[in-house]
Structure 1
Amino acid sequence: MTITKQDELDGLKAVGRIVANTMQAMARAMEPGMTTRELDEIGRAMLEAEGAVSAPRSTYGFPGTTCISVNEEVAHGIPGERRIGAGDLVNIDVSASKDGYFADTGATFRVAPTPPALDRLCRDGRRAMQIGIAQVGSGKPLAGIGKAIGHFAAGRGYTLIRNLASHGIGRALHEDPGEIATWPTRGDRRRIGKGLVLTVEPFLSMGGMWATDGADGWTLYSEPRAAVVQYEHTVVATDRGAIIVTQPG
């Protein structure tokens, strides 16, 4: 989607605020012993109360309202009977639509106590996302996002999952310009148009390179197996940089 009018930006910000508030509420409620299904129910109730519709469920028939991925699960984890435990890394990914607008956000949360290396991974994962967002602006190269994130990751001794990309969003969960690499690439000459709506969501890892399918047909795992974190915002490109629309409030 390309934003051309203020009411479009307002609609996008409205659903962005809903998904951000939902994710933060789920994170605050998370505690050892609860199941991922119970955590998902919190998200379902919040989205319904706001009149928003789960995007993965409505778009792809995903068997949950939100995606909750624990430890070895990289993305698209199905909420179920898995119990969250102390020391876990839990990724919560919330995407939804309202009034024809879609927004997508995600973050990885630690269940204390976690070792210093995982604390550092989480801090650096959020920083990687911020570095990518800083490359968003009218006329800038799309490949600049992955180039900047890749430089940061390599400098800190991390790898990036290279088959889970950022994407266009706005009037659908996934739309033009299609996949946007959050790792260094060659040959992508595309430029960021003014008003373009996209996600920035690097998957930073301590050794993982690829996401591979699990037996349930949804959940993805790192290959080789390693800790992975993901942080994601939906943003709008402007002449002055990026507007982050998935802000709580």
Structure 2
Amino acid sequence: MIVIKTREEIELMRESALIVSKTLGMLAKEVKPGITTLHLDKLAEEFIRAEGAVPGFLGLYDFPNTLCMSPNAQVVHGIPNDKPLVEGDIISIDCGALKNGFYGDHAYTFEVGEVAPETKKLLQVTKESLYEGIREFKAGNRVGDVGFAIQNYCEKHGYGIVRELVGHGLGRTMHEDPEMPNYGRRGRGKKFTEGMVVAIEPMVNLGTHRINQLKDGWTILTKDNKPSAHFEHDVAIVNGKPELLSTFKYVNEALGIKTNEEDEFRQ
């Protein structure tokens, strides 16, 4: 069942989403060769709690950490560890926060030092595809419209779209209806209405779309061991149009990136 949010609830969700956005911005300054994902996880937990929230992933479905940390060929759900990041890595950081009874859930894939040009392009296209999908999240459209936009944009570049893992509705629980696949057909699936809130999150592989799961029961890996990218925003339908609740502003500020990519999704 899709849970429609009031304007007041959407504002509470924005607060949770922005805590995650600020956490990612803080981590952006720390991601560098030699740092461990376990250290970044500790920093994130401390930051989220200092903001008056609790980590949204810690203990959820028995997940053991605050962050899902997925380097290189890991797609999502990687578990932080004490192995240092090295020059040329990429690392997807997926973070959640719970405050005032509502979740924020938000992800960014970072470059560690200088990365290979083909990997840099994968990250660029994946992030662009996120906004392609968000543009289709508006009253009267359907789930398939978002999935088609993301799939079409990425497959034009020869990339693989992960099928088994999807975006989702968001609210008082981390995963609500509807599921939001990153592939699909226009005009298919559940219809979008005012007050819906979802997490849209393309998971895009440099090679095949096929994946494996490691024996830890969590980590998802590309089948061909090529890199994967993951970006995620929380989005509400307000006045019939998509409005971002999360933001990459803090990440962009930390990394010195100047962009207006989010302007069209602010009301």
1:182 aligned counterpart, secondary structure? coil
Contact 1:208 / 1:227 at 8 angstroms: preserved in 2? no
In 1, distance between residues paired with 2:52 and 2:35?
Answer: 26
* Residue aligning to 2:203: 203
Q: Tell me the TM-score normalised to structure 2 length.
A: 0.88
Contact 1:161 / 1:210 at 8 angstroms: preserved in 2? yes
In 2, distance between residues paired with 1:78 and 1:189?
Answer: 33
In 1, distance between residues paired with 2:185 and 2:4?
Answer: 24
Contact 2:142 / 2:186 at 8 angstroms: preserved in 1? no
In 2, distance between residues paired with 1:187 and 1:142?
Answer: 8
* Residue aligning to 1:168: 169
* Residue aligning to 1:96: 97
Worse overlay, 122-131 or 27-36: 27-36
In 2, distance between residues paired with 1:58 and 1:172?
Answer: 13
Contact 1:105 / 1:232 at 8 angstroms: preserved in 2? yes
Residue of structure 2 aligned with 1:3, choices 5, 8, 28: 5
In 2, distance between residues paired with 1:45 and 1:105?
Answer: 17
In 1, distance between residues paired with 2:21 and 2:210?
Answer: 27
Cα distance per residue 1:167-202 (max 9 Å; x no partner): 01111100122x211112589431012111101101
Superposition pairs of residues 177-196 of structure 1, within 5 angstroms: 177=178, 179-185=179-185, 188-196=188-196
The reply to whether residue 61 of structure 1 matches residue 62 of structure 2 is: yes
1:73 aligned counterpart, secondary structure? coil
Q: Percent identity?
A: 30
2:58 aligned counterpart, secondary structure? helix
Contact 1:138 / 1:195 at 8 angstroms: preserved in 2? no
CA RMSD, aligned part only? 1.6
* Residue aligning to 2:159: 158
Is there any run of 5+ residues in structure 2 with no aligned partner, and where? 251-267
* Residue aligning to 2:131: 130
Worse overlay, 185-194 or 13-22: 185-194
In 1, distance between residues paired with 2:145 and 2:87?
Answer: 38
Q: Which amino acid aligns with 1:184?
A: G
Q: Which amino acid aligns with 2:85?
A: I
Contact 1:208 / 1:225 at 8 angstroms: preserved in 2? no
Contact 2:139 / 2:241 at 8 angstroms: preserved in 1? yes
1:210 deviation in Å?
A: 2.9
* Residue aligning to 1:84: 85
In 1, distance between residues paired with 2:186 and 2:141?
Answer: 15
* Residue aligning to 2:149: 148
The reply to whether residue 47 of structure 1 matches residue 31 of structure 2 is: no
In 2, distance between residues paired with 1:119 and 1:144?
Answer: 27
Cα distance per residue 1:44-67 (max 9 Å; x no partner): 111010121122224222111111
Change (3 A) 1:8 1:96: same
In 2, distance between residues paired with 1:168 and 1:58?
Answer: 20
Q: Which amino acid aligns with 2:184?
A: P
Number of equivalenced pairs:
247
In 2, distance between residues paired with 1:176 and 1:107?
Answer: 23
The reply to whether residue 16 of structure 1 matches residue 17 of structure 2 is: yes
Cα distance per residue 1:12-58 (max 9 Å; x no partner): 11111100100121121111111110011111111010121122224
1:239 deviation in Å?
A: 3.7
In 2, distance between residues paired with 1:196 and 1:224?
Answer: 36
